[in-house]
Amino acid sequence: DSGVTQTPKHLITATGQRVTLRCSPRSGDLSVYWYQQSLDQGLQFLIQYYNGEERAKGNILERFSAQQFPDLHSELNLSSLELGDSALYFCASSTRGGLDTQYFGPGTRLTVL
């Protein structure tokens, strides 16, 4: 158990809908990262937050957004969902957000029908 928690574990929804994925980092970690894992794209970095502020952005679609709250938990919002958004979404956290180890949560499996 990495200490990173994610909810829900599974999510099934329809195209065009909007969902919110939640992540709680390890105790004491200030940085949160979101990754998407699909069969054809592998693990892809989406976005990073550090102490409430966006720090780095990767291959995140405009339909997706994220935020980190004062209590350091983070939410990833996915809107206007398409079939191709079906994937595993992982959250990782690290202490400071530099070259320190990222610890991953168990993931949320999103299925868009």
Per rule CB under 8 A, is residue 22 in the interface with another protein? Answer: no
Question: Shortest approach of another protein to residue 65 CB, angstroms?
Answer: 17
- Within residues 25-84, the interface with another protein by CB under 8 A covers 31, 33, 37, 39, 42-45, 48, 55-56, 58
- Within residues 83-102, the interface with another protein by CB under 8 A covers 88, 90, 92, 94, 97-99, 101-102
Residue count at the site for another protein (CB under 8 A)? 29
Q: How many residues does the chain have?
A: 113
First to last CA, the chain: 31
What phi and psi values does residue 85 have, to the nearest 5 degrees? -80, -10
Question: Which is closer to another protein, CB of 55 or CB of 73?
Answer: 55
By CB under 8 A, name the binding residues for another protein. Answer: 2, 4, 31, 33, 37, 39, 42-45, 48, 55-56, 58, 88, 90, 92, 94, 97-99, 101-107, 109
